[in-house]
Amino acid sequence: MPEQLLIIKNIAHEGPGLLEGLLREHGISLHIEDLSLGGTFPDPRQYQAVVVLGGPQSANDETPAMQLELRQIRRVLDEGIPYLGICLGMQTLIKAAGGAVIPCPVKEIGFTESNGTPCQIELTADGRADALFAELGGTLPVFQLHGETVQLPPSGAQLLASGSLCQNQAVKAGEMAYGLQCHFEMTRSMFLEWLQIDSDLRRMNHPALLEQFDALEKEYSFVGRKLMENFLKIANLLRVGKRDSK
């Protein structure tokens, strides 16, 4: 039986962040493929679970790398392999499941919306009942960085959480494939790097963004770690009863 967790990076600076720390803590082996550095999406059947991270690409790209990514995620769905997609990883999941990826009505960037209200997502009834959000409240603070969103396929997918601007914020396809449009994996060091690299973030007020991150960091990190632990339990990589987030 496969034991490793496969992590797919679509761009070098968008790494697993909080998830990688959890994996090290619990002694869970992982294999990382960075597609932006020439890596190839391997056969997901060789792994017990798959995580696909964010990136600047679009799930609508016709490049060979994206077409392979979509085929491998379709294989994940067909085989019932536990899957967690973040940002682009959610969009590729829904595209592979038969849904659509479309431009956002409004780009979502940062910790606050354009009117200054905090970026949050609200769990649906399905989300509140799902193991991915166990021990978490109904409203969660998030960091956003995306210009595309998804339309769910006619069948086979559930909406687990919604937002005020882009409705589809957390989804489930099949029995164990999840997608999160927002970023729950970010660490402070990752955020500092993104501020220097991402074209949208570079144009924003960095001191204000860092102040927002620091004010939210404790709650944000707790939610992110708990979500990741819940996924690892769903994937049977972290046994119930082992050390949880504190």
In a domain, 245, yes or no: no
Give domain status of residue 201, yes or no: yes
Does residue 241 fall inside a structural domain? Answer: no
**Distance separating alpha carbons of residues 131 and 227, to the nearest angstrom:** 9
Structure tokens at 50: 């798959």
pLDDT of residue 200: 87
239 within domain boundaries: no
Please give the full DSSP string across 69-131, using - where no structure is assigned. Answer: HHHHHHHHHHHT--EEEETHHHHHHHHHTT-EEEEEEEEEEESB-TTSPBPEEEE-HHHHHSG
**CA 35 to CA 38: how far, in whole Å?**
5
Structure tokens at 32: 């990382």
Its pTM surpasses 0.85: yes
Range of the domain at 97: 5-234
Distance CA 155, CA 6 (A): 27
* Residue 136 DSSP symbol: -
Residue 240 placed within a domain: no
The H or E element containing residue 166 is none
- 32 is a domain residue: yes
Establish if 224 belongs to a structural domain: yes
Cα–Cα separations (whole angstroms), residue 189 to 4, 86, 214: 26, 18, 12
SS3 221: helix
List per-residue pLDDT tens for the chain, 246 residues long.
465 899 999 999 999 999 999 999 999 999 999 999 999 999 999 999 999 999 999 999 999 999 999 999 999 999 999 999 999 999 999 999 999 999 988 888 888 887 778 889 999 999 999 999 999 999 999 888 888 999 999 999 999 999 988 899 999 999 999 999 998 999 999 999 999 998 888 898 999 999 999 998 999 999 999 999 999 999 999 875 444 444
What CATH number does the domain containing 85 carry? Answer: 3.40.50.880
Question: Does residue 62 belong to any structural domain of this protein?
Answer: yes
Q: What is the torsion angle, in degrees rounded to the nearest 10, for the CA atoms of residue 151, residue 152, residue 153 and residue 154? A: -100
Domain count for the chain: 1
- Residue 209 CA neighbour count, 13 Å, CB half: 19
245 to each of 26, 120, 168, how far by Cα in Å? 11, 21, 27
Helical axes 88-96 vs 64-79, angle rounded to 10°: 70
